[in-house]
Chains A and B, each alone.
Chain A
Amino acid sequence: MLKIENLHVSYGGIQALRGISLEVPDGKIVTLIGANGAGKSTTLRTITGLVKASSGSIQWNGGELLGKPIDKIVGAGIAMSPEGRRVFADMSVLENLRIGAYLRKDKAEIEKDVQWVYSLFPRLEERSWQLAGTLSGGEQQMLAVGRALMSRPKLMMLDEPSLGLAPLVVQDIFSIIREINKQGVTVLLIEQNANMALKIADLAYVLETGNITMSGTGAELLANEKVREAYLGKNG
Chain B
Amino acid sequence: MQYAISILLSGVSLGGQYALIAIGYTMVYGILRLINFAHGDVFMVAGLMMVYLTASLPLAASIPLVLVLTVLLGFIIERAAYKPLREAPRMSVMISAIGVSYLLQNLATYVTGGLPKMYPEIPGISNTITIAGAPTKVVTIVTPILVLALVAALTQLIHHTKVGMAMRAVAKDFETAQLMGIKINAVISATFVIGSFLAAVGSVLYFTNYQSIVPLSGALPGLRAFVAAVFGGIGSIPGAVVGAFIIGLSESVIKGSSWSIFSDAFTFALLIIILVVKPTGLFGEKVTDKV
Chain A residues in the interface with B (C-beta under 8 A):
48, 50, 69-71, 74-75, 79-80, 82, 84, 86, 88-91, 95, 98-100, 102-103, 133, 140, 147-148, 151, 164
Contacts and interface: CB of A to CB of B under 8 A. Distances in A.
A89 B176 contact: no
Contacts of B162: 102
Contacts of A69: 183
Contact of A95 (B165, B175, B181, B182): B165
Given A89-B288, A99-B165, A102-B162, A70 B181 contact: yes
B184 to A, nearest CB: 9
Nearest to B175: A50
A196 B291 CA distance: 22
B278 interface: no
B166 interface: yes
Interface of B: 162, 165-166, 168-169, 172-173, 175-176, 178-183, 288, 290-291
B162 to A, nearest CB: 7
Contacts of A86: 173, 175-176
A119 B172 CA distance: 28
Contacts of B288: 89, 133
B9 to A, nearest CB: 37
Given A91-B168, A133-B288, A99 B180 contact: yes
Given A71-B183, A75-B181, A133-B290, A99 B169 contact: yes
B288 to A, nearest CB: 6
A75 B175 CA distance: 16
Contacts of A103: 180-181
B168 A71 contact: no
Interface of B, secondary structure class, is helix
A100 B291 contact: no
Contacts of B168: 88, 90-91
Contacts of B173: 86, 88
Nearest to B178: A70
Contacts of B291: 84, 164
A192 to B, nearest CB: 15
A91 B288 CA distance: 13
Contacts of A164: 291
A193 B291 CA distance: 18
B158 to A, nearest CB: 12
B172 A88 contact: yes
Given A50-B175, A98-B165, A89 B290 contact: yes
B155 to A, nearest CB: 15
A102 B176 contact: no
A102 B172 contact: no
21 contacts: A48-B179, A50-B179, A70-B178, A70-B181, A71-B182, A74-B179, A75-B181, A84-B291, A86-B176, A88-B176, A89-B172, A89-B290, A95-B165, A99-B169, A102-B166, A102-B181, A102-B182, A133-B290, A140-B290, A148-B179, A164-B291
A74 to B, nearest CB: 4
A137 B267 CA distance: 44
Given A95-B165, A99-B165, A99-B169, A82 B183 contact: no
A145 B162 CA distance: 21
A107 to B, nearest CB: 11
